[in-house]
Amino acid sequence: DVKVTQSSRYLVKRTGEKVFLECVQDMDHENMFWYRQDPGLGLRLIYFSYDVKMKEKGDIPEGYSVSREKKERFSLILESASTNQTSMYLCASRTQGNTEAFFGQGTRLTVV
Amino acid sequence: AQSVTQLGSHVSVSEGALVLLRCNYSSSVPPYLFWYVQYPNQGLQLLLKYTTGATLVKGINGFEAEFKKSETSFHLTKPSAHMSDAAEYFCAVSAGTGGFKTIFGAGTRLFVKA
């Protein structure tokens, strides 16, 4: 089975902190994604990566950056956390093309 | 560009009743369509997908969906609801060269009454 692992289930951070969310997949997938999930808004794409060291902005990249130095790992970085970044963050991976995505368990981030 | 609209943010059914969750999509090219389910405090897992071929797609846990191009719809159904079906359901579309972006609907929360 494909496994996508997010490093933390719950995080509480202070405003202004730099926050790292880590995601690792074990199926050699080319594509990896970071979404945030908010009630009534569904999943919104923050960033995606289609290969190592490659990244593309999604629909809401402001305030975020990403890093993909190895194929299996995709990190989301909140440069200076703000309260409006309190949300559920979901990582996903998939093979190339219009295939289904496999999701991690999610990280619920609270910024205080 | 693609988009997905899920009609109804909340749907409530009685145990044993038909489940119908509605999804309409917009895509300028032939789409790939997905339904995912999310249980509380979990990530999303795939219920079923439509790529090409047969328009009636069967998935896990007794769910199925029918791709209707003329109606740009991909509604999810289950003949008989079970308490364990209570969850949030997301419709998604992926299309275009490379298909990098998968666009999700806002989600429909399904409640099942005993």
Pairing outcome for strands A102-103 and A87-94 = antiparallel
Asked if the model's pLDDT at residue B104 lies above 70, the reply is: yes
Asked if the model's pLDDT at residue B33 lies above 90, the reply is: yes
Pairing outcome for strands A4-6 and A19-25 = antiparallel
- Rounded-to-integer distance, Cα A39 and Cα A25, Å: 26
Amino acid at site A36:
R
What is the distance in angstroms between the Cα of B107 and the nearest Cα belonging to chain A? 6
Show residues of chain A in contact with B95, CB under 8 Å: 98
Q: What is the pLDDT of residues B36-92, one digit of tens each?
A: 999 988 889 999 999 888 899 999 999 999 999 999 999 999 999 999 999 999 999
- From the list A44, A97, A103, which residue is nearest B43 (CB)? A103
State the pLDDT at residue B28: 79
Q: Tell me whether residues B94 and A41 touch, CB distance under 8 A.
A: no
A100 shares contact with chain B (CB less than 8 Å)? yes
The answer to whether residues A97 and A29 touch, using CB atoms and an 8 Å cutoff, is no
Asked if the model's pLDDT at residue B29 lies above 90, the reply is: no
Asked if the model's pLDDT at residue B101 lies above 90, the reply is: no
- Mean pLDDT over B20-29 rounds to 91
Average pLDDT of chain A, as a whole number? 93
Asked if the model's pLDDT at residue B26 lies above 80, the reply is: yes
Asked if the model's pLDDT at residue B24 lies above 90, the reply is: yes
Q: What is the pLDDT of residues A91-107, one digit of tens each?
A: 999 988 768 889 999 99
- Mean pLDDT over A21-47 rounds to 93
